[in-house]
Amino acid sequence: MSQPHVVDSVAALRARIRDWRRDGQRIAMVPTMGALHDGHLSLVKIALERADRCVVSIFVNPTQFAPTEDLDKYPRQLARDLDMLAAVKADLAFTPGVSEMYRAGFATKISVGGPSAGLETDFRPTFFDGVATVVAKLLLQAAPDFAIFGEKDYQQLCVVRQLCRDLDLPVEIIGAPTIRDAHGLAMSSRNAYLDEADLQIARQFNVILRKAAAALAAGAGQEETIAEASRVLVATGFQKVDYVEARESLTLTPWRRDRAGRVLAAAWLGKTRLIDNVEVPAA
């Protein structure tokens, strides 16, 4: 089982992709921050169903972390990541350093409106500027035909789609279903921070959101349903709820019953912040 080829410069990345293009091959990209898990691997599998070659970027992007957030302790395990990518036959790992992605004098920022409003932005106001900037750079560096993003980070997926649409980036953005453990907990690199007691609580997150979504689909009032979901999260053991909201699936504007919807939430277990979302079933 051979590991993917590894490059850490934009020039080397483009050279390898240029060779593939010369052979008429289609390219898919999976942007990640490493600390890979089965959710990431599912994205690689989807990428290889769509394309001949898959590039996985591994870069912990400092511009999407606020000074109070967990940049320094974010898990970094490149050797293990490469072994995992070998198991799913990823072709290339792009592992740039900060100085390669943000060279001396870097002074550009991309800010996306629309679906970035509210939710995460209310608590992490610079987050999506960092995401949009680094994703735009990665897509311009690799110029893939497809890029695969998980629905677990649903607002991020919507922001990336808006970014590519608005800037006419010639890449198809594919949203992939959230991968969950046997108890329904969405796979996340930050789950590694949770001890066994926290995990028992975290596994109720999706259960509570699904009950709220089912209630909304059955005609329950939106305000009281969302308030009840927040109350139950705290009663279950979450120390703090940042938000529980129902939004329209495509635009993330406030949900109306005649539109496809999502219930999105963020809540804290100790120092670990978890996010999740579920679809509101069609009436």
What residues are labeled active site? 40
Q: What long-range pairs does 120-127 form, CB within 8 A, spacing at least 24?
A: 120/155, 120/156, 120/266, 120/275, 122/242, 122/243, 123/242, 123/243, 123/266, 124/66, 124/69, 126/63, 126/64, 126/66, 127/64, 127/66
SS3 115: helix
Q: Tell me the binding residues for ATP.
A: 33-40, 150-153, 179, 187-190
SS3 227: helix
Q: How far is CA 140 from the centre of its chain?
A: 19
Q: Tell me the binding residues.
A: 33-40, 64, 150-153, 156, 179, 187-190
| Owner of token pair 């996306």 | 112
Amino acid letter, residue 146: F
What is the distance between the alpha carbons of residues 4 and 86, in angstroms, rounded to a whole number? Answer: 6
**45: which residues sit within 8 A by CB, 6+ positions away?**
88
Q: Nearest to residue 233, comparing CAs of 279, 267, 183, 272?
A: 267
Q: Tell me the binding residues for beta-alanine.
A: 64
Sequence length of the chain is 283
Amino acid letter, residue 230: S
Would you state the structure tokens that stand for residue 265, as one six-digit string?
A: 């939430």
What is the distance between the alpha carbons of residues 241 and 54, in angstroms, rounded to a whole number? Answer: 37
Q: How far is CA 28 from the centre of its chain?
A: 16
Would you state the structure tokens that stand for residue 206, as one six-digit string?
A: 């999706």
